[in-house]
Amino acid sequence: MSRPVLVLNGPNLGRLGSREPDVYGATSYAGLVESCRTLGAELGFDVEVRETNDEGELVRWLHEAADGKIPVVINPGAFTHYSYAMRDAAAQRTAPLIEVHISNPYAREEFRHTSVIAAVATGTVAGFGLGSYRLALRALAEEVTG
């Protein structure tokens, strides 16, 4: 039986493939979903990928994960830099939580250099394009299997 994992995506990530392809690549959001599900299955995970532009919905999903002891891979998008509500929800985690970024925030605008999520995450993977998600899922597999 495979273990449930949530891959949560914040604002504008549903526009992958058309949103700034020089920064975020040409792969569509559907391509990201398929990639996460395929690798997740190989790792023994039942991956559910979600995306929202709504901060409150992300907070509710983090509560769901905490209540269900479900591991999380999260790309908070712009919420990374200022959502203390999401930080507080992530701090309630009861299973590993890995923060992911497609680009390297430290190579971009200064406001992107701060993550309010990082301090409560198990770890952060950034700068490897959509490969950041694959690396995060592999790290999650290490975390949950020891």
User: How far apart are alpha carbons 9 and 100 in whole angstroms?
Assistant: 9
Confidence of residue 24 (pLDDT cuts 50, 70, 90): low
The question of whether 24 is a catalytic residue gets the answer yes
The tens digit of pLDDT for each residue in 83-132 reads 999 999 999 999 999 999 988 877 666 866 689 999 999 999 999 989 99
Backbone angles phi, psi at 49, to 5 degrees: -105, 130
> Contact at 8 Å (CB) between 104 and 127?
yes
Range(s) of the domain holding residue 105: 3-145
Number of structural domains (the chain) is 1
> What's the rounded Cα separation, in Å, for the pair 73 and 11?
15
3-class DSSP assignment, residue 136: helix
Fill in the DSSP letter of residue 28: -
Provide φ and ψ at 39, rounded to 5°.
-65, -40
**Domain containing residue 33: CATH number:** 3.40.50.9100
Residue of 29, 101, 106, 133 marked catalytic: 101
Query: Has 84 been annotated as catalytic?
Result: no
Average pLDDT score, the chain:
89
